Structure 1
Amino acid sequence: MIDIVRTLVATLLDLLAWPILIYFLAINSSYLFLVLAAAADFRSTRRRRRHSGRIERLGSHTAPGVSVVVPAYNEEVGVVEATRSLLSLRYHRHEVIVVNDGSKDDTLGVLTRAFDLVRADREVPSEIETRQVPRGVYVPRDGYTRLTVVDKPNSGRSDSINVGINTAVEDLVICMDADSLLDPDALLIVTEPFADDPRRTAATGGVVRIANGCTIRDGRIVDVRMPRNLLAQIQALEYLRSFFLGRSGWSKVKALILISGAFGCFRRDLLVEVGGLDPDSIGEDFELVMRLHRLLRERRQDYQVTFVPEPVCWTEVPETLTVLRKQRARWHRGLWETLVKHRVMFGNPRYGRAGVLAVPYYWFFELFAPLIEAVGLVLMVLGFVLDLVNPTTFWLFLAVAYGYAIVVALTAAAVDEVYFSRYNRLGSLLSLITSSVAENIVYRQLHVIWRLQGWWQSLRGSEQQWGAMTRRGFKTEETV
């Protein structure tokens, strides 16, 4: 038996060893390129900032109005503080729309008591088809607080956002989660591209950072620190590298195809035109942006989808392996289903840089990454144990696959510190450095397994499982 295994492993190593090494070299180099592209963009943005007219727009009535749509399901713990925070954002004209998605807890009750809500005689339009219709619309009794709470039967996050879009009255719509907080100037900054180029700008995305470990006062982050939980620390580094700098890099090369569902801003007319979010998609945010690209490219309209690196949305992340596993499996399943649904874009010049650059990248370096990494790691370890791989080749593999990844992570942390200095305490910086190493030991291998599970669930057509995350909520003077 051992001879058969040795022969099989030796054959596979002969075929795949160097291609896998080259793959890891390419994927880590691509991450480094995106980080450096983001750094170049930050540098030019910093030079333009003093001439942006941001302060003038704060009181300008010519800037577009914003509707902030917040779906809420069983969010009684933090929904009031989150809503107050959104209402107090510095912007000349914005409304907050909370859509209670048939919560089983007291979400609607705590909102009613906190804001003295009364039922409004208001009909919600049906420009976007929805699975459920509102059973009640509530507004503050004072008549001037721009808050609307829509109560509806449970039908999921996407359908709730679509109800919120139908309810919205402003030109721009921001979709975010009830468990998130925005920086005070977030609306002002994320809408800058719309104010600067209203004809071409279709959507913008902002930064999502981790609130775990931070101190919150009156719905504001007042003290930024790295989380105490190691799992959350690793995610902070992930968000920094992939969800912040990675998307900044894609925006720089004008091929951004993914905006985080926790903080995205869209033209309302385009959302209505594409039919809102797809309730059947488990990767609904990614799928929406892909659909926008297809719509605008197919009708030959000049447009841009932009990532804005300064406005920050703060959110809690899982601190247990069980919850994180379900989240990452769901994300990878959503990636697979979205890429398959929009496979016509793959390498197709008709869809510009999104089709030629971004979509193939997501296929090769995001979708297939866990499969290739799993095969490469298993083959190299077996080859080393069976004395089929010499120590030099084995350590070269580890250096290219994991050592290079640590360098990329540290580079991302350095870029963030130079331009934004969010984690300016020595302890937080040391945590980032420690996390860059810890991420590649055990966690990364678990992450490979979780993503493969999501892929397998999709291939089997198993029922979508969103899972649940226990929230602490954003309380005054609380360290989350």
Structure 2
Amino acid sequence: INFTIYHVNTDKGKARALNTAIYESIGIYVINIDSDGLLEKNAVKNMVLRFENDLSIAAMTGAILPKEELVQKVKGFGHRLLAKNEYYEYAQAFLSGRTIEASRDQLFTMSGAFSAFRREVLMETFLYDIDTIGEDTDMTFQIRTRLGKKVVICADAIFYVEPISGFSELYTQRQRWQRGELEVTENYMKQTASLKRFFKNFLVRRMMIDHTFTFPRMIWTFATVVLIAFGYSSLILLLSYLLIYALYVVVAVVNFVSVSILLQP
């Protein structure tokens, strides 16, 4: 196998570097991977086989997982707990969440850390958007929504990443994800954003759930003091919180069991 390696020297951001690399590419498939992870030995082969066996697939995302051995080596109870939660969250998001989304042709975003494309499809897009930090989500919508082509997940193509370093990285990471989601969604909801489309347009539904239905939880938290001032029993409020927490625990247990089954070899 012959490899040609180019070093793209750019200070203009990831999107510009990817676009440069796409123009330089000459193969049938283009695969993006981040530099801070490790591919499972059969990951690329599994992706190519999926492309070859289904000519309708235009692009796909791989499955991103923290390396389990590294998670077990994390020191400190709090940090290890955070790393283990991240591990199961990634497993749930990729092995079940994106699989369900893809089966409904509603995959929201391909992972910027590991994704693959037919080059001919990439050349039909506007390439990666340099004006958003959610360039991977924008590319997903370009291919699936604007071009009307098939985007899926290849769950047996795994890219291992290091466990999260701490709460500071967690905050920065989630802030970036939410900002990118909002930026990209604004471009694709200008003609479709209305309550009547809640059950028809998955993007409207996704944004309502992610950025609207979570708001009452915050209001409820701050309203507790007000409710006590209005004479509501603190015992009743406490029991209400315990019931809500118990329901969250049930959902978490179901997710944990489901992901554990999916992770079985």
TM-score, with structure 1 as normaliser: 0.49
Quick one: distance in 2 between partners of 1:195 and 1:393?
Answer: 58
1:203 alignment partner in structure 2: 59
Q: CA 1:337–1:393 in 2, change beyond 3 Å: closer, same or farther?
A: same
Quick one: distance in 2 between partners of 1:176 and 1:385?
Answer: 55
Is 1:378–2:234 an aligned residue pair? no
Bigger radius of gyration, 1 or 2? 1
Question: How far 1:226 moved relative to its partner?
Answer: 7.5
- Counting only pairs closer than 5 Å after superposition, residues 68-467 of structure 1 correspond to structure 2 as 145-198=2-55, 200-211=56-67, 214=69, 225=72, 227-228=74-75, 229-297=80-148, 303-344=149-190, 346=192, 356-380=200-224, 382-384=226-228, 387-388=231-232, 391-392=235-236, 394-400=238-244, 402-421=245-264
Which structure exhibits the higher relative contact order, with contacts defined as CA atoms closer than 8 Å and separated by 6 or more residues? 2
Q: CA 1:226–1:374 in 2, change beyond 3 Å: closer, same or farther?
A: farther
Amino acid at match of 1:154: D
Quick one: distance in 2 between partners of 1:169 and 1:321?
Answer: 41
Amino acid at match of 2:248: A
- Paired residues of 1:335 and 1:367 also in contact (CA < 8 A): no
- 1:105-143 CA distance string (max 9 Å, x none): xxxxxxxxxxxxxxxxxxxxxxxxxxxxxxxxxxxxxxx
Quick one: distance in 2 between partners of 1:379 and 1:311?
Answer: 46
**Which runs of 5 or more residues in structure 2 are unaligned?**
none
Question: How far 1:318 moved relative to its partner?
Answer: 2.9
Give the aligned CA root-mean-square deviation in angstroms: 2.9
- Paired residues of 1:206 and 1:311 also in contact (CA < 8 A): yes
Quick one: distance in 1 between partners of 2:242 and 2:208?
Answer: 20
**Which runs of 5 or more residues in structure 1 are unaligned?**
1-143, 216-223, 298-302, 423-480
Q: CA 1:412–1:318 in 2, change beyond 3 Å: closer, same or farther?
A: same
- Paired residues of 1:161 and 1:277 also in contact (CA < 8 A): yes
- Paired residues of 2:15 and 2:129 also in contact (CA < 8 A): yes
Question: How far 1:421 moved relative to its partner?
Answer: 2.0
Quick one: distance in 1 between partners of 2:239 and 2:4?
Answer: 59
What is the aligned-residue identity percentage?
A: 22
Amino acid at match of 1:356: K
Q: CA 1:397–1:361 in 2, change beyond 3 Å: closer, same or farther?
A: farther
Amino acid at match of 1:404: L
- 1:50-82 CA distance string (max 9 Å, x none): xxxxxxxxxxxxxxxxxxxxxxxxxxxxxxxxx
Q: CA 1:145–1:280 in 2, change beyond 3 Å: closer, same or farther?
A: same
Question: How far 1:387 moved relative to its partner?
Answer: 4.1
Quick one: distance in 2 between partners of 1:271 and 1:179?
Answer: 24
Question: How far 1:286 moved relative to its partner?
Answer: 0.9
Amino acid at match of 2:100: G
Quick one: distance in 2 between partners of 1:226 and 1:372?
Answer: 38
- Paired residues of 2:94 and 2:155 also in contact (CA < 8 A): no
Amino acid at match of 2:206: Y
- 1:338-384 CA distance string (max 9 Å, x none): 11111146479xxxx9x934202221112335433322322246435
Q: CA 1:387–1:149 in 2, change beyond 3 Å: closer, same or farther?
A: farther
Quick one: distance in 2 between partners of 1:391 and 1:201?
Answer: 56
Q: How many residues align?
A: 259
- Paired residues of 1:209 and 1:315 also in contact (CA < 8 A): yes
